[in-house]
Amino acid sequence: MENPKSAFSEWYTEITTKAKLCDMRYNVKGFVVFMPNSVTTMKRMYSVYEQELERNAHKPVWLPALIPESNFTKEGEHVKGFVPEVFWVTEAGGNKLEERLAMRPTSETAIYQMFSLWVQGKADLPLKTYHSAQVWRYETKATRPFIRSREFHWIETHCAFASEKDARRQVKEDMKTTERVIHGQFGIPFIFFERPQWDKFPGADYTFAADTLMPDGRILQLPSTHILSEKFSKAFEINYLNEKGERAGCRTTCYGPAISRIYAALISAHGDDKGLVFPFDLASTQIAIVPIIRKEGGEAVLSYCKKLYKKLSKKYRTVLDASQNTPGFKFNEWEMLGTPVRLEIGGREVEKGEVTIARRDTGAKETIALAQLKKKISQIRREILPLLRSRADNSFNSKIYAASSLEELGEKLKSGGFVKIPFCTMQKEGEACAEKIKEQFSANVRGSRFGKKEKTEGNCIVCGKKAKAVVYAARQY
Amino acid sequence: MENPKSAFSEWYTEITTKAKLCDMRYNVKGFVVFMPNSVTTMKRMYSVYEQELERNAHKPVWLPALIPESNFTKEGEHVKGFVPEVFWVTEAGGNKLEERLAMRPTSETAIYQMFSLWVQGKADLPLKTYHSAQVWRYETKATRPFIRSREFHWIETHCAFASEKDARRQVKEDMKTTERVIHGQFGIPFIFFERPQWDKFPGADYTFAADTLMPDGRILQLPSTHILSEKFSKAFEINYLNEKGERAGCRTTCYGPAISRIYAALISAHGDDKGLVFPFDLASTQIAIVPIIRKEGGEAVLSYCKKLYKKLSKKYRTVLDASQNTPGFKFNEWEMLGTPVRLEIGGREVEKGEVTIARRDTGAKETIALAQLKKKISQIRREILPLLRSRADNSFNSKIYAASSLEELGEKLKSGGFVKIPFCTMQKEGEACAEKIKEQFSANVRGSRFGKKEKTEGNCIVCGKKAKAVVYAARQY
């Protein structure tokens, strides 16, 4: 790597190119080709997420990519929020279509008409679905690989409930899922915020979103979960026959983990000056075997490596690197790619029936008997994730500050991270104060921390009115 | 089920609705919503297929959904073949686009420009990729769920090689993959044909395709694999520096298993008069536990069932059916859904520490000690697939006929299935004879059997010229 991780922006650009994670040269603006090294990991991430959703009784559906304009415009706020970003299909099979079709930017308006058919009685509730798919949004900001593009890969869950209480419970379950998967299994720290009223998902009553910090101290939004306005269930007639024999409207929720974006957070949280670092289970290549061949004994070394490969590749994503490059070049390469375990095999190892094993996360290297290898790999596999997670947690927690004046806010924001401030209100009237913070410091008010009561003291640092909320401000990706 | 499987068309419509496999009421013509019961199975099918492709060194990529019109029109035959079926995006973000963007009907023209960047020297070859995705084609024939729609779910592989010999080897590997997965693991029989020259993939030099038979004796095309014309690698400049230091063009191949369509073949091959039948590993629900509750002892039965559920659901997709329906209703329901194993638990089973276990594939039912259950389930799991496969093979093989005159061909086609005939030629000049067969009998010439030399005798049954090929004719979906 030419750039250290402290020069984060350059580091990120360099690693996505050098490790062949994606190719930005595709000739539709904002569209990226994702390459095997990242896709292998993202497929694992999808699988971990889907398992967790299914454990919580979500069922998979596959929804159409195209949504008729008339569906799309049924709920006023939703259409206002998304229409500026839509790709429209207007022609097909040589004919102009009677109605424009939107390439889904999100699927509420596709699935809700189905919900109205699927939900009849209370026995059909709760209805919990998920859809692993791509969505398309005509972003105007610059493309950043995995972080922002016009096509992204995500999971969207769509649920319907008999009451708002059930919907609230779902939102909490979504947060727990986020914790179990993104923090628990991917090792990425975040804070869940209730977003201010002026910064909600278009058509939502409440939006809760997870924000992580990138190494430069700017935030990246991870999944958000929403309690949608009853206008949706009215517009799409999602209702059920209640005990009194009356039609009652459902409450709906949605939740959207964007796998490609979480991947950006993953490589940014764990990477270092040498390149990528991955939890063992997520690595594209888990074990690299590097033969070290001197003038003599090359064949014996290679055949020893092949035997190892045959054994290990049954269980792990393993590569035997028999290319013509020097061992030193190969070590750097596999380190840059974030391969968790590297085995180095030379004449000495063959002679003694040993293996030299190097860990990517700690850099530790030791030579062990072949008979110990299986156990050693299992041990390293277990150890990596907790270590990466605790490193990432420490870095994250060291970047949470507090300020009690605008001046202090500006000062603290310079070093990046979250700055906690007393703030007038999360209701609509607070927007003017948030705007001022944005203008002055290019920072956003992310909302108040969910699930943790923070004591409100003093006055809003912008307007001076009595503070009704503690909010977090930060610069955003 | 109201319809027996012998009334196949009605049976198929009934089962896709009754088992909630998909919903045809989505309001864009030709687009279907796939529901949890089918998606759970199709996700498993994807996973089996992807594992097999990766075993053969294919690497996953994610390609953009949109292809610029200028890419699309680079290869003349390809554009002619696909343009009539394309959905075009012409507007985005409120603006008219300068160039139309095609929603991919297939991705050759998206990935080939990347291949030209990725392939430099011989060390970059072979280049073997796969992409699991949806594609969109403006079909004019009627929508049949899973069989034909305007959006379908498939895998497409794209590969580049240094020579035609390597490309031919790939095509053979693709056929072997088809055999291992579709016949080996899904239990669906088929024949691989080399398609006649007039019936190739648009832009291919050679097309090989697998045809299966549906229960009504009509064929359904399963995956096809193609050696593409060198015009592609010329148009997209996919070439490498050879040993002489010269630029040499690559040969490319592609292969496209459509998972949603293979699912149609799966349910059609194995289903019966009672509904769906699945290989154990592919079933949406693998084990259904049905409590049989009389007046007394309900709680003991339920708690016994819950314990069973807790144990089994760790390993298998298990449902405890505690709904208010009668046991008889439930038995029918789980049979209709194709759940391979049903456990019936009544007071007697609880008292004796037993389980009554019913198999969907054979209908066999027996009562065993609880301690035997684990082993019994493993045994049934192992036995189902070979049984279903051999049943399907027998049915398939009984529908291959031969004819030596047009009259006989017409007679044999009445009962459905393949009819082998002597035919003038698979080259372009044979098309006129194939057209006559199509006009007279609504049957297609599918090509000659790949990998099995069949003795050519006599004259073409249409034009009377000396036969140079043995081809198979059949009616098609």
Query: If you average pLDDT over residues B391-404, what whole number do you get?
Result: 97
**Does the pLDDT at position A333 exceed 90?**
yes
The CATH number of A8-270 is: 3.30.930.10
Whole-number average pLDDT of chain B? 96
Query: If you average pLDDT over residues A329-339, what whole number do you get?
Result: 98
Query: If you average pLDDT over residues A409-421, what whole number do you get?
Result: 95
Phi, psi of B330 (to 5 degrees): -65, -40
Q: How far is A35 from chain B (nearest CA, A)?
A: 5
Q: Residue A407 is which amino acid?
A: E
**Does the pLDDT at position A120 exceed 80?**
yes
- Out of B25, B66, B68, name the one closest to residue A117 (CB): B25
Q: How far is A24 from chain B (nearest CA, A)?
A: 10
Percent of chain A predicted with pLDDT > 90: 91
Q: What is the C-alpha to C-alpha distance for residues A211 and A151, in angstroms, rounded to an integer? A: 21
Chain A partners within 8 Å of B134 (Cβ): 65
Q: What is the pLDDT of residue B296?
A: 74
Q: What is the pLDDT of residue A43?
A: 98
Q: What is the pLDDT of residues A362-384, one digit of tens each?
A: 999 999 999 999 999 999 999 99
- Out of A27, A117, A151, name the one closest to residue B65 (CB): A151
DSSP string spanning A396-429?
A: HHTTEEE-SSHHHHHHHHTT-SEEEEEES-SSGG
Q: What is the pLDDT of residue A17?
A: 97
Q: Tokens 């049979």 label which residue?
A: B335
Ranges in chain B annotated CATH 3.30.110.30: 400-474
Contact yes or no for B26 and A64 at CB 8 A: yes
Q: What is the pLDDT of residues B439-465, one digit of tens each?
A: 999 999 999 999 888 999 899 999 999
Contact yes or no for A61 and B100 at CB 8 A: no
- Out of B34, B65, B94, name the one closest to residue A61 (CB): B34
B136–chain A Cβ distance below 8 A for any pair: yes
Chain B partners within 8 Å of A114 (Cβ): 23, 25-26, 33
Contact yes or no for B65 and A64 at CB 8 A: no
A84–chain B Cβ distance below 8 A for any pair: yes
A64–chain B Cβ distance below 8 A for any pair: yes
Q: How many C-beta neighbours within 10 Å does residue A438 have?
A: 15
A90–chain B Cβ distance below 8 A for any pair: yes
CA quadruple B297, B300, B304, B309: dihedral sign:
positive
User: Helices marked H in A89-213 — which ranges?
Assistant: 108-118, 164-178
Residue B139: pLDDT band (50, 70, 90) is very high
Chain B partners within 8 Å of A100 (Cβ): 91
Q: What is the pLDDT of residues B261-274, one digit of tens each?
A: 999 999 999 999 99
Q: What is the pLDDT of residues B164-198, one digit of tens each?
A: 999 999 999 999 999 999 999 999 999 999 999 99
Residue A342: pLDDT band (50, 70, 90) is very high
Query: If you average pLDDT over residues B69-90, what whole number do you get?
Result: 90
Structure token digits, residue A372: 């110990």
- Out of B83, B114, B151, name the one closest to residue A64 (CB): B151
Q: What is the pLDDT of residue B129?
A: 98
Residue A15, Cα to own-chain centre: how many angstroms? 18
Contact yes or no for B62 and A33 at CB 8 A: yes
Q: What is the pLDDT of residue A243?
A: 87
DSSP string spanning A326-393?
A: -HHHHHHHHHHTT-SEEEEE-HHHHHHTEEEEEETTT--EEEEEGGGHHHHHHHHHHHHHHHHHHHHH
Q: What is the pLDDT of residues B208-259, one digit of tens each?
A: 999 999 999 999 999 999 999 888 999 999 999 998 999 999 999 999 999 9
The pairing of beta strand A219-228 with beta strand B66-68: unpaired
**CA atoms within 13 A of residue A154's CA, in its CB half-sphere:** 26
Query: If you average pLDDT over residues A273-278, what whole number do you get?
Result: 98
**Does the pLDDT at position A320 exceed 80?**
yes
A461–chain B Cβ distance below 8 A for any pair: no
Q: What is the pLDDT of residue A294?
A: 80
Q: Which residues pair with A62 in a beta bridge?
A: B34
**Does the pLDDT at position B202 exceed 80?**
yes
Residue B304, Cα to own-chain centre: how many angstroms? 40
Residue of B nearest to A87 (CA): B92
A27–chain B Cβ distance below 8 A for any pair: yes
Q: What is the pLDDT of residue A392?
A: 98
Residue A352: pLDDT band (50, 70, 90) is very high
Query: Model ipTM?
Result: 0.96
B100–chain A Cβ distance below 8 A for any pair: yes
Q: What is the pLDDT of residue A80?
A: 85
Contact yes or no for B28 and A67 at CB 8 A: yes
Q: What is the pLDDT of residues B275-330, one digit of tens each?
A: 999 999 999 999 999 999 887 778 999 999 999 999 999 999 999 999 989 999 99
DSSP string spanning B177-196?
A: HHIIIIIIIT----EEEEPP
The CATH number of B285-382 is: 3.40.50.800
Residue A52: pLDDT band (50, 70, 90) is very high
A92–chain B Cβ distance below 8 A for any pair: yes
A40–chain B Cβ distance below 8 A for any pair: yes
Contact yes or no for B65 and A65 at CB 8 A: yes
**Does the pLDDT at position A449 exceed 90?**
yes
> Which of B21, B47, B88 to mutate to test binding with chain A, by most A CBs within 10 Å of its CB?
B88
> Which of B45, B89, B112 to mutate to test binding with chain A, by most A CBs within 10 Å of its CB?
B89
The CATH class, in words, for A400-474 is alpha beta
Q: What is the pLDDT of residues A158-215, one digit of tens each?
A: 999 999 999 999 999 999 999 999 999 999 999 999 999 999 988 899 999 999 999 9
Q: What is the pLDDT of residues A58-95, one digit of tens each?
A: 999 999 999 999 998 888 888 888 888 999 999 999 89
Dihedral angle computed from the Cα positions of residues B355, B360, B363 and B364, in that order, rounded to the nearest 10 degrees: -40
Q: What is the pLDDT of residue B294?
A: 80
Q: What is the pLDDT of residue B143?
A: 93
**Does the pLDDT at position A231 exceed 90?**
no
Q: What is the gyration radius of the CA atoms in chain A, in angstroms?
A: 25
Q: What is the pLDDT of residues B7-50, one digit of tens each?
A: 999 999 999 999 999 999 999 999 999 999 999 999 999 999 99
Q: What is the number of residues in chain A?
A: 477
B316–chain A Cβ distance below 8 A for any pair: no
Contact yes or no for B87 and A89 at CB 8 A: yes
Contact yes or no for A40 and B59 at CB 8 A: yes
B134–chain A Cβ distance below 8 A for any pair: yes
Residues with Cβ within 8 Å of residue B28, at least 6 apart in sequence: A64, A66, A67, A68, A101, B150
Q: Cα–Cα distances in Å, from B124 out to A323, A355, B53, B164?
A: 12, 30, 19, 16
Q: What is the number of residues in chain B?
A: 477
Residue of A nearest to B83 (CA): A93
Q: What is the pLDDT of residue A75?
A: 84
Contact yes or no for A64 and B31 at CB 8 A: yes
| Contact in structure between B64 and A31 (CB atoms under 8 Å) | yes
Contact yes or no for B40 and A59 at CB 8 A: yes
Ranges in chain B annotated CATH 3.40.50.800: 285-382
A65–chain B Cβ distance below 8 A for any pair: yes
Q: What is the pLDDT of residue B61?
A: 98
Q: What is the pLDDT of residue A453?
A: 84
Q: Which of A400-404, B129-133, B227-231, B362-366 has the lowest mean pLDDT?
A: B227-231
Ranges in chain B annotated CATH 3.30.930.10: 8-270
Q: What is the C-alpha to C-alpha distance for residues B91 and B101, in angstroms, rounded to an integer? A: 9
Phi, psi of A461 (to 5 degrees): -75, -10
DSSP string spanning B349-405?
A: HHHHTEEEEEETTT--EEEEEGGGHHHHHHHHHHHHHHHHHHHHHHHHHTTEEE-SS
Q: What is the C-alpha to C-alpha distance for residues B13 and B265, in angstroms, rounded to an integer? A: 14
Residue of B nearest to A59 (CA): B36
Q: How far is A351 from chain B (nearest CA, A)?
A: 32
Q: Structure pTM? A: 0.96
B74–chain A Cβ distance below 8 A for any pair: no
- Out of A25, A32, A91, name the one closest to residue B90 (CB): A91
Q: How far is B140 from chain A (nearest CA, A)?
A: 9
Contact yes or no for A103 and B103 at CB 8 A: yes
Chain A / chain B CB contacts < 8 angstroms = 146
B93–chain A Cβ distance below 8 A for any pair: yes
B121–chain A Cβ distance below 8 A for any pair: no
- Out of A66, A90, A129, name the one closest to residue B28 (CB): A66
